[in-house]
Structure 1
Amino acid sequence: MASITLFVGSVFGNAENLASEVKNDIEQQGHSAVIAEAPTLEHVNSADNLLFISSTTGQGDIPENLLPLVLQMQMQSQFPMLTGKTVGVVALGDSSYGDTFCGAGRQIDVLVQELNATVTEPRLDVDACEHFEPYEAVAPWLQKWLQHL
């Protein structure tokens, strides 16, 4: 079975709650999962499979608890290639914010593709205007993503 590391960007706890639900679902299906607390490049480098779950803050920005890792991943000197790693991205947002909708997830998605990750399922954008509980939208996507591991 697969080993998955979850990287969570959260402002008010919604993404953290979703990550806990996703982790439980992953484990119930026989895989191992861990949520990277205070994520670092070491977490990225040691992960077999990576799943990013991030809300969006400000003007389409990455939440402060995940931003340092993303900035490190963008630095040329540390540029951790993700070749051979399967990566998924779940973006949480509110479509009423227009162009900044799911901005953090879009940025993460572009970055992991630049780092040569294997992306088996397209980024999932979850609209808070449509899904009060994001897990209902994430569960079917997660099943498809897990099938590729």
Structure 2
Amino acid sequence: MAAVEIIIGTVYGSAVLVAETLEQALLDAGHSVRLHEDAVLAELDKDRLWLVVTSTTGQGDLPPNLIPLFEELRESSPPLPGLRYALVALGDSSYDNFCGAGRQFDELLQELQARAITERLEVDATETLEPEEPALAWLQGWMGDI
């Protein structure tokens, strides 16, 4: 079974609900999970799978609680070629920078040579009122491979 760090970027709570839904599915499957709403790099185990769940604010911006980790990774992290991750980006396609926070975080992890284990999931608030449903289906599509 895998050990998973769930990193949450949220403003209004949608990402928390998605993260908690994914956490429960992972726990039910026998995986070890830790949730982080205000993550700092020192608290995250790079040997565990990182599952990032983030909403997008403003014009494609990161949620305030995710900015410190993002900046720490960008400014002081060495390459992370051993890090495996998956990412859920929540957004609203009526804005120009749809899922901008998730896309930024994904790009940063790729620049650090981390390895995505699956395609980034982008959930559009204009298409679904319950983002945890497509996120759970996405998770179930690859969870057996970790």
What range is the shorter-chain TM-score in? Answer: over 0.9
CA-CA distance at 1:139 after TM superposition: 1.3
- Count of residues in correspondence between the two structures: 146
Task: Select the residue among 126, 133, 138 that pairs with 1:136.
Answer: 133
In structure 2, what residue type is equivalent to 1:87?
Answer: Y
What are the ranges of 5 or more consecutive residues in structure 2 without an aligned counterpart? Answer: none
Identity across matched positions, percent: 43
User: Which consecutive segments of 4 or more residues in structure 1 shift more than 6 A?
Assistant: none
CA-CA distance at 1:47 after TM superposition: 4.7
CA-CA distance at 1:42 after TM superposition: 1.2
Task: Select the residue among 86, 89, 100 that pairs with 1:88.
Answer: 86
| SS of corresponding position for 2:94 | helix
Counterparts of 2:47 and 2:5 in 1: how far apart (Å)?
6
CA contact (8 A) 2:41 2:69 kept: yes
The residue number in structure 2 matching 1:71 is 71
In structure 2, what residue type is equivalent to 1:112?
Answer: L
The residue number in structure 2 matching 1:50 is 50
Q: For 1:14-46, what per-residue CA distance to the aligned partner results, in whole angstroms no more than 9, with x for missing partners?
A: 111111111111100110111024201113344
The residue number in structure 1 matching 2:119 is 122
The residue number in structure 1 matching 2:19 is 19
Counterparts of 2:67 and 2:116 in 1: how far apart (Å)?
21
In structure 2, what residue type is equivalent to 1:24?
Answer: Q
CA-CA distance at 1:144 after TM superposition: 2.7
In structure 1, what residue type is equivalent to 2:18?
Answer: L
TM-score by length of 2: 0.94
Counterparts of 1:69 and 1:47 in 2: how far apart (Å)?
17
CA-CA distance at 1:121 after TM superposition: 0.8
What are the ranges of 5 or more consecutive residues in structure 1 without an aligned counterpart? Answer: none
CA-CA distance at 1:96 after TM superposition: 0.8
CA contact (8 A) 1:41 1:80 kept: no
